[in-house]
């Protein structure tokens, strides 16, 4: 099966493409709404929850956190301060450069982040209605879109 020819950027997208774009927008909006609600259930802001989730993957310096969250380093410092006060995050020397501090999730922070992921209803409920083959096809299509 031949892959479709990409639509040139200076022409109007076809109705199917417009519908897909609208549906993606609706999925993103619902996911963000659910994420904010799940964060609030754990007494976190959305930004705190996103930062904690990132730190569960690996410890990161403030500058990298700011780049990943697309915000100013000073904002990240405040978020880390609040999470550190709750015992969810700690600052450590970077093993590669002891002059640099990294933020890392504590065991309690990883527990809270796991609970947050498990409480995301929108991410779980609609996918449960799809067969494994449909979920694989959706995953592959999304991967293809992201390159």
Q: For the chain, give every domain's residue range.
A: 31-146
With cut-offs at 50, 70 and 90, classify the pLDDT of residue 8: low
Is residue 114's pLDDT more than 70?
Answer: yes
Pairing status of strand 97-105 against strand 89-94? antiparallel
d(CA 106, CA 55): 9
- pLDDT, residue 12, reads 85
The angle subtended at Cα 65 by Cα 63 and Cα 73, nearest 5°, is: 50
Average pLDDT, the chain: 89
Q: Count CB atoms within 10 A of the CB of residue 55.
A: 24
**Overall residue count recorded for the chain in this entry:** 147
Two structure tokens written together for 89 = 């995050």
**How confident is the model over 40-90, as pLDDT tens digits?**
999 999 999 999 999 999 999 999 999 999 999 889 999 999 999 999 999
Find all residues with CB under 8 Å of 100, minimum gap 6, and list them.
61, 93, 94
Q: Using an 8 Å Cβ cutoff, are 116 and 123 in contact?
A: no
d(CA 101, CA 124): 36
Is residue 16's pLDDT more than 60?
Answer: yes
With cut-offs at 50, 70 and 90, classify the pLDDT of residue 127: confident
Looking up tokens 């990298």, which residue turns up?
64
The architecture of the domain spanning 31-146 is Orthogonal Bundle (1.10)
**How confident is the model over 18-45, as pLDDT tens digits?**
999 999 999 889 888 999 999 999 999 9
Two structure tokens written together for 106 = 């504590």
* Predicted TM-score (pTM) above 0.85: no
Element (H, E) at 103: strand 97-105
Is residue 2's pLDDT more than 60?
Answer: no
């Amino acid at each position: 099966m031949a892959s479709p020819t990409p639509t040139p950027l200076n022409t109007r997208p076809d109705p199917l493409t417009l519908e897909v774009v609208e549906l993606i927008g609706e999925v993103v909006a619902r996911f963000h709404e659910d994420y904010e609600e799940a964060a609030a259930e754990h007494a976190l802001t959305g930004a705190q929850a996103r930062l904690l989730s990132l730190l569960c993957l690996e410890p990161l310096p403030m500058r990298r956190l700011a780049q990943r969250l697309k915000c100013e380093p000073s904002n990240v410092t405040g978020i880390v301060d609040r999470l550190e006060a709750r015992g969810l995050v700690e600052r450590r020397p970077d093993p590669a450069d002891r002059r640099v501090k990294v933020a890392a999730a504590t065991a309690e922070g990883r527990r809270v982040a796991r609970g947050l992921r498990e409480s995301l209803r929108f991410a779980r409920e609609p996918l449960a209605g799809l067969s494994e083959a449909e979920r694989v096809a959706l995953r592959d299509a999304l991967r293809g879109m992201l390159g």
